[in-house]
């Protein structure tokens, strides 16, 4: 099978040929159709991600495909279409994964949609429902609202009955956030973001996928009793939050590492994903994929993610007959 291998951190991953092992007890062999890219993939290359596997490893944290063989003790049959949150191994034509990481797909969900679904939607749903306890009628501010996770926060926030203020860079990205349901649009390059957010009514919950100065402005715009969600640092650095403001205004600060719930409380992820797949089946969620690349153009796909030129998700089509980048 062809696969994207990271031999050593701080070096470029390479396309290589690897043998495919047979599934062992509790494992499934999957013919991979699509793999969703995440900001964490870039951090893994740099050796900065909290769960970077030991090198060498096949990259790709989430994938979708068809079960081709089942090891002893499994219940998912060959021929079943599945989404897999694997943490690694998705950027390949095939792979072997624990059955516990595999979820059968709703009939209407395509492989591309499934590859773009679990981490982004799962992060936003657990953050907004379990951590921030977002309530109908509250105001949610999403920082980085056109990105892979930010766009799902806009969509889920509206689904949960919130008024959503979206911050993104430029008119094109703001239009994508508006199409996902945002009520108020603010360009993240506005000179005084704190003033702009307060003029828009302030925030009950801030979903911060950016960090840096934008995150600091969002934190400053929280109403008393507000909640601040630390999701990621796409801007390059964590925000310097003023904890004396947290004290005076009775603010809550919640970190959210979705994959960490596999150890912290896996039932939260199971229940969340069941809710999200149900919403999708009802037509209530629409994964936004802005670019698709074949496996041999993974470097270009990662560069699009690195330079923040994408909106929503970037997906790599891993099958040999995958569409060319020109067709994205």
The whole-number mean pLDDT for each consecutive block of 10 residues of the chain, a chain of 328 residues, reads: 97 96 96 96 94 96 97 97 96 97 94 96 98 98 96 97 97 96 96 96 97 97 98 92 97 96 93 94 93 97 94 90 38
CB atoms within 10 A of CB 131: 18
Q: What is the pTM assigned to this prediction?
A: 0.92
At 304, which helix (H) or strand (E)? Answer: helix 298-306
CA proximity to 32, closest of 63, 75, 78 = 63
Locate the DSSP E strands across the chain: 2-6, 14-17, 27-36, 57-58, 62-70, 81-85, 94-98, 102-104, 139-143, 163-168, 184-187, 203-208, 222-230, 252-255, 289-294, 313-317
d(CA 244, CA 31): 52
CATH code linked to domain 120-259: 3.40.50.720
Q: Is 90 helix (H, G, I), strand (E, B) or coil?
A: coil
Look up tokens 């379990």; give the residue.
130
Domain residue spans in the chain? 2-117+287-327, 120-259
Task: Return the half-sphere exposure (C-beta side, CA atoms, 13 A cut-off) of residue 205.
Answer: 30
CA proximity to 305, closest of 42, 85, 12 = 42
d(CA 294, CA 290): 14
Taking the CA atoms of residue 7, residue 9, residue 11 and residue 12 in that order, the dihedral angle to the nearest 10 degrees is 70
pLDDT of residue 114: 97
Task: Return the half-sphere exposure (C-beta side, CA atoms, 13 A cut-off) of residue 80.
Answer: 18
pLDDT of residue 327: 34
Q: CATH number of the domain at 2-117+287-327, out of 3.40.50.1820, 3.40.30.10, 3.30.360.10, 3.90.180.10? A: 3.90.180.10
């Amino acid at each position: 099978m062809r696969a994207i291998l990271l031999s050593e951190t701080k070096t470029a991953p390479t396309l290589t040929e690897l043998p495919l092992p047979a599934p062992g007890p509790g494992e499934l062999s999957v013919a991979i159709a699509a793999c969703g890219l995440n900001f964490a993939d870039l951090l893994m290359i740099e050796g900065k991600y909290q769960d970077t596997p030991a090198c060498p490893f096949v990259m790709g944290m989430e994938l979708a495909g068809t079960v081709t063989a089942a090891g002893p003790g499994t219940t998912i049959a060959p021929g079943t279409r599945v989404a897999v949150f694997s943490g690694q191994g998705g950027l390949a034509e095939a792979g072997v994964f624990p059955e516990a990481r595999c979820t059968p797909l709703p009939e209407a969900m395509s492989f591309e949609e499934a590859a773009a679904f679990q981490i982004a939607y799962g992060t936003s749903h657990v953050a907004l429902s379990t951590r921030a306890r977002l309530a109908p009628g509250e105001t949610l501010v999403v920082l980085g609202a056109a990105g892979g996770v930010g766009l799902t926060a806009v969509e889920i926030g509206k689904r949960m009955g919130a008024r959503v203020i979206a911050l993104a860079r430029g008119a094109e990205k703001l239009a994508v956030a508006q199409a996902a349901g945002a009520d108020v649009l603010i360009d993240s390059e506005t000179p005084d973001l704190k003033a702009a957010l307060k003029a828009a009514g302030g925030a009950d919950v801030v979903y911060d996928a950016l960090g840096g100065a934008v995150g600091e402005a969002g934190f400053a715009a929280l109403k008393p009793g507000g909640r601040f969600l630390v999701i990621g640092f796409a801007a390059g650095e964590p925000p310097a939050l003023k904890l004396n403001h947290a004290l005076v205004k009775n603010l809550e600060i919640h970190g959210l590492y979705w994959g960490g719930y596999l150890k912290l409380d896996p039932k939260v992820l199971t229940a969340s994903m069941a809710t999200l797949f149900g919403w999708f089946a009802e037509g209530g969620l629409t994964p936004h994929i802005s670019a698709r690349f074949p496996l041999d153009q993974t470097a270009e796909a990662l560069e699009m993610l690195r330079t923040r030129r994408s909106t929503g998700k970037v997906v790599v089509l891993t099958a040999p007959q995958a569409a060319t980048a020109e067709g994205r």
